[in-house]
Amino acid sequence: MDAPGPGTPDDLPPLVDHHCHGVLRHEPDPGTFAGFLSQSDRPPAAGTSFFDTQAGFAVRRWCPPLLDLPAHCPPDDYLARRRELGPAETRRRLLTATGIGTYLVDTGLPGDLTDPAETARAGGGTGFEVVRLEALAERIAGAASGSEEFLDGLGRAVREAARTAVGFKSVAAYRHGLALDPRPPGRDDVRAAAGAWLAAGATRLTDPVLLRHLIWLAVATGRPLQIHTGFGDPDLRLDHTDPALLTGLIRATADTGTDLVLLHCYPYHRQAAYLASVFPHVYADVGLTLTHVGPRAPAVLAEFLELAPSGKLLFSTDAHGLPELYLAGTALFRTALDSVLGAWTESGAWSAPDARRVGAMIAAENARRVYGLDEPGDR
Amino acid sequence: MDAPGPGTPDDLPPLVDHHCHGVLRHEPDPGTFAGFLSQSDRPPAAGTSFFDTQAGFAVRRWCPPLLDLPAHCPPDDYLARRRELGPAETRRRLLTATGIGTYLVDTGLPGDLTDPAETARAGGGTGFEVVRLEALAERIAGAASGSEEFLDGLGRAVREAARTAVGFKSVAAYRHGLALDPRPPGRDDVRAAAGAWLAAGATRLTDPVLLRHLIWLAVATGRPLQIHTGFGDPDLRLDHTDPALLTGLIRATADTGTDLVLLHCYPYHRQAAYLASVFPHVYADVGLTLTHVGPRAPAVLAEFLELAPSGKLLFSTDAHGLPELYLAGTALFRTALDSVLGAWTESGAWSAPDARRVGAMIAAENARRVYGLDEPGDR
Amino acid sequence: MDAPGPGTPDDLPPLVDHHCHGVLRHEPDPGTFAGFLSQSDRPPAAGTSFFDTQAGFAVRRWCPPLLDLPAHCPPDDYLARRRELGPAETRRRLLTATGIGTYLVDTGLPGDLTDPAETARAGGGTGFEVVRLEALAERIAGAASGSEEFLDGLGRAVREAARTAVGFKSVAAYRHGLALDPRPPGRDDVRAAAGAWLAAGATRLTDPVLLRHLIWLAVATGRPLQIHTGFGDPDLRLDHTDPALLTGLIRATADTGTDLVLLHCYPYHRQAAYLASVFPHVYADVGLTLTHVGPRAPAVLAEFLELAPSGKLLFSTDAHGLPELYLAGTALFRTALDSVLGAWTESGAWSAPDARRVGAMIAAENARRVYGLDEPGDR
């Protein structure tokens, strides 16, 4: 499965990681490190370890050799060696091994994280920003003296962001769930909701009217809008993240010229692939999913590729905090693509040139086209 | 995997395609041809092609050799050769290679399509009709002068259809979704709904009372009722097509003596298989699904066969418009059955005689029994 | 796949079957026997047999050799030999071959079934009781003269059961569905619901207030609470058994110190694995599922292990009525574990020591820890 051959990822262009995050600038303590291997926001259950997850096994498989250790060495040995090398050297070693050429970094997460340029530089690539709408709104709200000022400032900020960022991201799935009224909210409703939110202190934004307002502000810019769907931290409710719940919004945005990219999608990735197959402006992303299912990445990627047209699936790592997650995400993606397309080529279901061509589309070309990365101008 | 052996489909009887449609009588232009490879009702996204779908790859794998071209030749070459041969010869070559002996044709789709006898004749088989309830209602409504006349005519038409058609089909999934009140609607409600629908012009029927009325009219005839579930054109909402939403209707019809056949089912095919496993009068169908998942057909068929009892799964292609979809659908079904049952036989999980027996049941015998195809009389 | 090797179940400790039932003390007639192979509560459809299910094929694969017959012999031969040997000898032969060391038996099912000690003795293991809450409530209600006496008796009975039983079980999924208000019901609501239920004859308990009251009574004891999720008899509605519907209850119980074990889970096992991955007190179980998917057990187990941390998945057979279901359940579990972990070890995704370690965790150690089976005292 690892031998090069027709249709294998040896032919892949530099990857475009169209959805990722910064990594820690400092060295994490062991508990913090392990916490990044899980989507849980609590300590592991007594008698269990976050290393005993597919993300943990994947990190232990792929990363130690780059730090001069044997694959699957004990976590403590790995963490000791990591401390020895320091965060900058660890980052450099891991990121340069990913094969990522372009990083589209969601800058909306808190913490002492590398920014897009810094992240990309460590990996020898180019970085762009993706603006998280809810974080932007929360920042603007913190500086606004009233709802009129907030709404004006927000509209301006979204339009300005569209000039430099390559896209936007909505985490409405976490804040309310995806069963949102698909219509743009009316001006009065938005004003009332903004007033109420500001009066309540403008902390974590969960108001559905404002979440919809953000989505429609972003749609109006024409930049691709990434939408979190499927699993994630436990502040979401899984059954409220099925991308099929977005059908109304998808229909409502069909003629806007703006593309929607459904992130992660698992365990509703077949639903996401269906949506990508019938709506021209909808795309699906392997995201968080491949990293967290480890050796099942080929099976899950194949499920995506049941209905998702070749031109509609995008690669990302959703790596966050640890450069290890970049390496594990890309290694799992490459081997999964190799395994899936290789098997289809071998059985005669696909031709080798088609497999090669589709591999390059998923790895980079679809993202380059959707985000306009090859266009002249501010890119 | 392709070598004949115990339990492989070499032993299969002529297939019964229990749910399919006519094919175009005329030669389609390239855009029309490609459109039949997708469930989308819009042009493909810029930079993408409907040939880059699993249905597209499957057609390119299986069909060119029958038109004297190499598998996976470029779409343009294939379309040129097709034009050269003309629609009748293309149809004949492709359909005679399917191994289908019996075609159960849903005649409710518009367009210049071959009728059941014509379709079957091209493939050297026998054709029967399946009557699509909503299309029947829309036709009757067009000729009726009032709701009383409409309802009388509809009742008569359904009873008459039951004398010649082998079954009925409901597309309530497209028109309303499957979360319907499971009870037969009251006479007054039906009359009111019919009046309102006729007054509004009696176009596309979406009224849930009338959709239920159609279902119960069909159930009363005793003929098997096919129900669209799962994915399809984007005028359905995927999460409203989960066959589990039919649980109430399934319970309500359990003692009527009428069988329900859940079509397509994906991505809710495990749910459909469960329903087929616990309700004697419920059957599941691989339908549209296998064609559109291409090399994943073995995996998806295996998922059907997790819970679906051997006597409860039916084969169909849901082919529509293109004879290519008949060939791809049967080729994928045969190779999937071969692969799945072959692997189970080889591992010792199933005996070879059982695999052979079950293969024949799914390919033909279950449908022959459910639709009464071997019964004397009007069949 | 069956050859011993690193990371294979040859290294497994005696299994802990953390959720199972008694088996029939008497010899069942053929129809009764076949009925236990299906979750249906009706006879099979005309022309079909409950032996033509994956559970039927699995029983025919694994059990005949232990009764001196060839694998896959005809059902009639098997049943004849079974009658010849008698229920006690059949039970002994089959249960001693399971490798189960500990049986956690849900005693809430009716019928002439072996009790925990009797079940375990036949297999040479140790038996413990799991108390089904709804059955307990129905028993107490039958003897109570009023709602006050009922509620006092119920509270006492749950507390007493917690002293001897290893855990509780809720079948709210069957009685109402899992979309329950997650909060403990108020005292007045409970009293009113109890009064109404007793007045109505206190038969099958389906009142959601009382179902919640039972759950919270059990949670208060600190004993693990098993919750039926996913497929089962047709008195449940499948889409109301998605464990994601329990998210509210899971959040509400997060700080109680009581563990929740999601049983069976299929076809929502990826959802269950997600919940187990983000909530420390939530566990998932392969249960009923592996037995009923037969040769698909490796694929389904692998799907569980996409997100479920190694320390969060438990083994059970959910065997009921037939000792054959114990043997099929354990054989399928062992071969599935062997196949899945073996493939991951071979590809380098996991190390052999990790695979061995995780195999033992799922087979026994997680259950020993969750149910406190190694603790001194009343265990």
The residue type of A304 is F
CA atoms within 13 A on the CB side of B273: 24
Tokens 């990735």, residue located: A269
- Establish whether the linkage from the previous residue to A267 is cis, with ω within 30° of 0: yes
Compute chain B's Rg from CA coordinates.
20
* pLDDT confidence bin for B377, thresholds 50/70/90: low
List phi, psi (to 5°) of C53: -130, 165
pLDDT in tens, B31-89: 999 999 999 999 999 999 999 999 999 999 999 999 999 999 999 999 999 999 999 99
Question: What pLDDT score does A2 carry?
Answer: 37
From the list A184, A279, A266, the residue with the least C-alpha distance to A231 is: A266
Q: What are the φ and ψ backbone dihedral angles of C104, each rounded to 5 degrees?
A: -105, 105
Residue of chain B whose Cα is closest to the Cα of A310: B52
Q: Which amino acid is at A56?
A: G
Residues composing chain C? 379
C376 pLDDT band (50/70/90 cuts)? Answer: low
Those residues with Cβ within 8 angstroms of residue A146's Cβ, 6 or more apart along the chain or in another chain:
A198
pLDDT at C6: 35
**CA–CA gap between residue B185 and residue A367 (Å, rounded):** 51
Name the pairing type of β-strands B100-106 and B225-229: unpaired
pLDDT at residue C113 tops 50: yes
Helix C133-143 to helix C147-164 angle (10° resolution) is: 140
Distance CA C53, CA C294 (A): 9
Mean pLDDT, residues B168-181: 98
What backbone phi and psi angles, to 5 degrees, belong to B52?
Answer: -85, 55
User: Residue A375 has what pLDDT?
Assistant: 76
Quickly list DSSP for C15-50: EEEEEE--BBSSPPPHHHHHHTTSS-SSPPPTT--T
Report the residue from B43, B48, B237 with minimal CB separation from A312: B48
The whole-number pLDDT of residue C217 equals: 98
Return the closest-CA partner of residue C291 out of C261, C323, C317: C317
Contact (CB<8Å) C293/B277? no
pLDDT value at C9 more than 70? no
Q: How far apart are CA B103 and CA B116, in angstroms?
A: 7
Nearest-by-Cβ selection for B348 from C61, C231, C234:
C61
Residue C231 per-residue DSSP state = -
Amino acid at A20: C
Quote the tokens at residue A309: 């047209």
pLDDT in tens, C342-375: 999 999 999 999 999 999 999 999 999 999 998 7
Mean pLDDT of C121-134: 97
- Write down the pLDDT at residue A139: 97
Please tell me which residue of chain A has the smallest CA distance to C306: A293
Average pLDDT over residues B197-223: 97
pLDDT in tens, B290-314: 999 999 999 999 999 999 999 999 9
Prior bond of A30 cis (ω within 30°): no
Residue A80 has phi, psi (to 5 degrees) of: -65, -45
Closest by CA position to C132, among listed C111, C110, C152, C102 = C110
- The pTM assigned to this predicted structure is 0.97
* pLDDT, average across residues C95-112: 97
Chain A residue set in contact with C, beta carbons under 8 Å: 1, 38-50, 52-54, 57-58, 60-61, 71-72, 231, 233-234, 237-239, 266-267, 292-296, 299-300
pLDDT above 70: percentage of residues in chain C? 96
What residues are paired with B23 via a beta bridge?
B321
HSE-up (13 A, CA, CB side) for residue B145 = 0
d(CA B197, CA B216): 19
Side chain identity, residue B66: L
A chain contacts of residue C280, beta-carbon cutoff 8 Å? 40, 42-45, 48
- Report chain A (379 residues): mean pLDDT per 10 consecutive residues: 40 95 97 97 96 98 98 98 98 98 97 97 97 98 94 98 98 98 98 97 97 98 98 97 98 98 98 98 96 98 98 98 98 98 98 98 98 73
Report which of B288, B315, B314 is spatially closest to residue B36, judged by C-alpha positions: B288
Best of B310, B358, B366, B368 to mutate (most C CBs within 10 Å, chain C)? B310
How many other CB atoms are found less than 10 A from the CB of residue C252? Answer: 17
CB contact under 8 A, A72 and C280: no
Taking 80 as the threshold, does the pLDDT of residue C321 lie above it?
A: yes
Q: What is the DSSP string of B194-208?
A: HHHHHHTT--S---H
Query: What are the distances in angstroms from CA B132 to CA B20, B21, B238?
Result: 12, 11, 21
Asked whether the beta carbons of C359 and C11 are under 8 A apart, the reply is: yes
- Percentage of residues of chain B with pLDDT beyond 90: 95
Which helix (H) or strand (E) element contains residue B154?
A: helix B147-164
Closest-CA residue to C269 (of C248, C294, C241): C241
- pLDDT at position C132 is 98
- CB contact under 8 Å between B343 and C295, yes or no, is yes
Residue pair B153/B202 in contact (Cβ under 8 Å)? The answer is no
Q: In a mutagenesis test of the A interface, which of B52, B72, B77, B238 is the best target, namely the one with the most A β-carbons within 10 Å? A: B238
Chains contacting A (3+ CB pairs below 8 angstroms) = B, C
Put simply, the answer to whether A311 touches B47 (Cβ < 8 Å) is: yes
For residues B123 and B96, is the Cβ–Cβ distance under 8 A?
yes
The CA distance from A313 to A19, in Å, is 13
Mean pLDDT, residues C223-235 taken together: 97
Tell me if C50 and B271 make a contact (CB, 8 A cut-off): no
Q: Delineate the domains of chain C, giving CATH numbers in brackets.
A: 15-24+97-370 (3.20.20.140)
Contact C374, C321 (CB under 8 A): no
pLDDT of C40 > 80? The answer is: yes
pLDDT at C5: 37
The pLDDT, as a whole number, for residue C379 is: 43
Closest residue on chain A to C243 (Cα): A239
What average pLDDT does range B333-351 have in this prediction?
Answer: 98
**CB B351 to CB C48 under 8 A?**
no
Q: Which residues 6+ apart lie within 8 Å of A208 measured at CB?
A: A172, A176, A180, A181
Question: How many CB atoms are closer than 10 A to CB A121?
Answer: 17
pLDDT at B10: 61
Identity of the residue in B71, B234, B295 whose CB atom sits nearest the CB atom of A279? B234
Q: In Å, how far are A249, B45, B109, B260, C85 from C308, measured between CA atoms?
A: 32, 37, 46, 36, 42
B321 forms beta bridges with B23
- Whether the Cβ atoms of residue C24 and residue C91 lie closer than 8 Å to each other: no
Q: Which of B244, B302, B369 sits opposite C239 (nearest CB)?
A: B244
- Digit-coded pLDDT (tens) for C252-276: 999 999 999 999 999 999 999 999 9
Cis preceding linkage at B267, omega within 30: yes
Cα C355 from Cα B362, distance rounded (Å):
38
Report which of B313, B328, B321 is spatially closest to residue B361, judged by C-alpha positions: B313
Nearest CA among A283, A287, A288, A259 for reference residue A272: A283
Q: How far, in whole angstroms, is CA B127 from its chain's centroid?
A: 14
* pLDDT level of residue C199 (50, 70, 90 thresholds): very high
Q: What pLDDT does residue B376 have? A: 64
What is the pLDDT, as a whole number, of residue C11? 79
Closest CA to C59 of C288, C324, C321: C324
Check pLDDT > 70 for residue B379.
no
Sign of the Cα pseudo-torsion (C291, C293, C296, C298, in order): negative
Compute the nearest-CA separation of C245 from chain A (Å): 7
Question: Residues, chain B, total?
Answer: 379
Contact of A54 with A292, CB cutoff 8 Å: yes
Q: For B236-293, how does the pLDDT look when each residue is reduced to its tens digit (9 = 90+)?
A: 999 999 999 999 999 999 999 999 999 999 999 999 999 999 999 999 999 999 999 9
Dihedral of alpha carbons A189, A194, A197, A203, sign: positive
What per-residue confidence (pLDDT) applies to A1?
Answer: 32
Interface test mutation site (partner C, options A39, A57, A264, A339, max chain C beta carbons within 10 A): A57
Two tokens at B313?
Answer: 């799964």
Mean per-residue pLDDT for B103-123? Answer: 97
Chain A / chain C CB contacts < 8 angstroms: 98
Contact A40, C279 (CB under 8 A): yes
| C-alpha pair distances (Å), C34 with each of B261, B272, C55, C57, C332 | 24, 22, 10, 12, 19
Q: What is the pLDDT of residue A377?
A: 52
Confidence of residue B378 (pLDDT cuts 50, 70, 90): very low
B169 beta partners? B132, B226
**Helices and strands (H, E) in chain B, number of each type:** 16, 8
Question: How far, in Å, CA of C71 to CA of C63, rounded?
Answer: 7
Contacts of A223 (CB under 8 A, 6+ apart): A162, A165, A166, A167, A168, A258
Instruction: Give residue B375's pLDDT.
Output: 76
- List Cβ neighbours of B193 (8 Å cut-off, separation of 6 or more): B185, B207, B209, B210, B213
pLDDT, tens digit, 9 for 90 and up, residues A41-98: 999 999 999 999 999 999 999 999 999 999 999 999 999 999 999 999 999 999 999 9
What are the tokens at C326?
């114990």
Q: What is the pLDDT of residue B46?
A: 95
